[in-house]
Homo-oligomer: A and B are copies of this chain.
């Protein structure tokens, strides 16, 4: 997947002025976090906890569940790989298009993979369902009622619900308590998305203690480094303070404004409930548009052609400031007129 993910900003060092390619909502940078970390030099010179139980306890406390219901991992990605491992050789239905790591992890651990277009298409034989909700790359959210109906209709089936983008929608979502009570749900959370800290790699899974304990049987020690553990505590404490408040309604409103403008240009746009959306060009291809935008405007978008089931005309954007969004719309309009 090295060639395919969003935010490949490191490939365009110095050229990117507007980064629409990552679907992380840009919180105002909080310099207190780096200052806090730099005040703790022992984070470099002492081992971290082998397993980050202190962070698991802190999340459990906030969510009103037990620490045994939480496993903190090296990004949600490690949780995805642990789940694929713990339930290896299963039959995994993946609601697609979506984040490619579900499929990659399942493939490595010998799953049979079935791509499905919606929760209504789950084949009877599926032992696990992977759902990104809200969905990357479309931004679409399955409402709580639909998710709950699917989960309760088959208690013998595992539902992996990636809630990485839950903070980016104004709509209600399945919570940690719901996941634990369901018994057959593993709910993934992402510090990367919630706190705009993709460099740190902290994520977690929440679920019934038997499920979490099964994941723990497969994890390696020290996978979350000491700086990430300390940062997690800092961020959980700062959760509801100014710097980390996400204006999901405002972001979604702006997304709808941009969507309308792109529709006017003849571009197809997904029904997003978030700050990002999937787009399909009426002609040309996303790779060409991407290169042109970076060369002429320093604008980086996400070529979405490598998502399963999508074409070379698909790209994804996440809204930025109103001015930057207007620049993007104008630039795409110009490219389409060339």
Interface, chain A (partner B; CB < 8 A): 1-2, 5, 7, 9-10, 22, 29, 31, 33-35, 37-38, 41-51, 53, 74-75, 77-78, 80-81, 101, 104-105, 108, 196-201, 217-218, 220-223, 225-228, 231
Contacts of A45 in B (CB 8 A): 29, 196-199
A1 & B225 in contact (Cβ 8 Å cutoff): no
User: Can you list 12 A-B pairs, Cβ within 8 angstroms, ordered by A?
Assistant: A5-B221, A7-B46, A10-B47, A34-B38, A34-B41, A47-B198, A48-B201, A74-B222, A77-B221, A108-B218, A223-B223, A225-B225
Contacts of A33 in B (CB 8 A): 44
Top 9 A-B pairs ranked by shortest CB distance?
A199-B226, A38-B38, A201-B225, A47-B198, A43-B199, A7-B47, A44-B199, A2-B50, A81-B220
A50 & B221 in contact (Cβ 8 Å cutoff): no
Instruction: Report Cα–Cα, A217/B92, bound state, in Å.
Output: 20
Instruction: Report Cα–Cα, A171/B53, bound state, in Å.
Output: 40
B227 & A200 in contact (Cβ 8 Å cutoff): yes
Instruction: Report Cα–Cα, A7/B50, bound state, in Å.
Output: 10
Contacts of A53 in B (CB 8 A): 2
A44 & B222 in contact (Cβ 8 Å cutoff): no
Contacts of A196 in B (CB 8 A): 45
Instruction: Report Cα–Cα, A17/B212, bound state, in Å.
Output: 36
Known: A38-B37, A221-B5. A200 touches B75 (CB 8 A): no
Known: A9-B46, A41-B31, A44-B33. A199 touches B220 (CB 8 A): no
Most buried by B among A1, A31, A37, A46: A46
Task: Out of B44, B200, B220, name the residue touching A226 (CB < 8 Å).
Answer: B200
B222 & A50 in contact (Cβ 8 Å cutoff): no
B227 & A199 in contact (Cβ 8 Å cutoff): yes
Nearest to A82 among chain B residues (CB) is B220
Nearest to A80 among chain B residues (CB) is B220
Contacts of A5 in B (CB 8 A): 47, 50, 221
Contacts of A2 in B (CB 8 A): 50-51, 53, 221
Given A2-B51, A44-B197, 11 new contacts (CB under 8 A): A5-B221, A9-B46, A42-B199, A45-B199, A48-B199, A101-B220, A105-B220, A108-B218, A201-B222, A201-B223, A223-B223
Task: Out of B46, B217, B222, name the residue touching A77 (CB < 8 Å).
Answer: B222
A74 & B74 in contact (Cβ 8 Å cutoff): yes
CB distance from A143 to the nearest CB of B (A): 30
Contacts of A80 in B (CB 8 A): 220
B47 & A199 in contact (Cβ 8 Å cutoff): yes
Most buried by B among A9, A10, A223, A225: A225
CB distance from A304 to the nearest CB of B (A): 17
Instruction: Report Cα–Cα, A10/B200, bound state, in Å.
Output: 21
Contacts of A42 in B (CB 8 A): 199
Known: A2-B51, A42-B199, A44-B34. A75 touches B22 (CB 8 A): no
